[in-house]
Amino acid sequence: MLLEGKKALITGGSQGIGTATVRLFAREGADVAFTYRKHEEEALALADEVKGMGRVALAVKADTSDYARAHEVVAEARAALGGLDILVNNAGMNWDGVIWKMKEEQFDAVINVDLKGYFNYIRAVSEGFREQQSGRIINVTSINGLRGKFGQTNYSAAKAGVHGMTKTVAKELGGRGITVNAVAPGLILTAMMEAMPEEAKQASLNETAVRRLGDPEDVAHVIAFLASDRARHVTGEIIKVDGGQYI
């Protein structure tokens, strides 16, 4: 198995890409802790599912924008799993609006979760990873952090910031055996995206080279590869998982 014996922490694990990643990591042999903010019933059911696979599982309620809580969550995960090898930053939000209508609270809320939240958890694992001289950090971002997106100044800025953070932290931690990469999905058919207007989904579909929209498992498989020893010589990369939506 790809992740046999590994210990992973995944933020935003109760839905979409996060849930697919939790399941895949468990199937590939990892013990998994994951955070959730709203969907407690789904989170607890997912933890039970992972335990049913014979893995250790921990579901932790946390707002990823809370710096102190991030350090608490990492400590809880280490204690429950018996160590920590992998961090997947996935928790995120969007609150769209064109720039001439966007409110300050709208901008700040997305930056605090989608950018600062990633910093919080990288900061929280970095000392432990440096001490053990190993670790994998994977940041889930978006192609809109590479190309921009109408109506998403806050979201695109946050994701672009994570891309810069990924490359910088890869340089800072690489000498201690730690790799840092980002996965940038295109439109992925999560429950939230299923509610999009059909014309919006069709527009995204028309942008792709492969003429299909992705599902959460498409992203989870790339995350699992980057978390594994097979990707030991890959760091500082932004890998698109978008079916050629942005080429």
Catalytic residues: 155
Best CA proximity match to 125, nearest among 81, 162, 88: 88
- DSSP 8-class letter at 176: G
The Cα angle at residue 13 between residues 216 and 147, in degrees rounded to 5:
50
Contact between 81 and 58 (Cβ < 8 Å): yes
What is the rounded distance in angstroms from the CA atom of residue 103 to the CA atom of residue 18? 28
Residues 6+ apart with CB under 8 A from 1: 27, 28, 29
Helix (H, G, I), strand (E, B) or coil at 86: strand
- Give CA 191 to chain center in angstroms: 16
Question: What is the chain's alpha carbon radius of gyration, rounded to the nearest angstrom?
Answer: 17
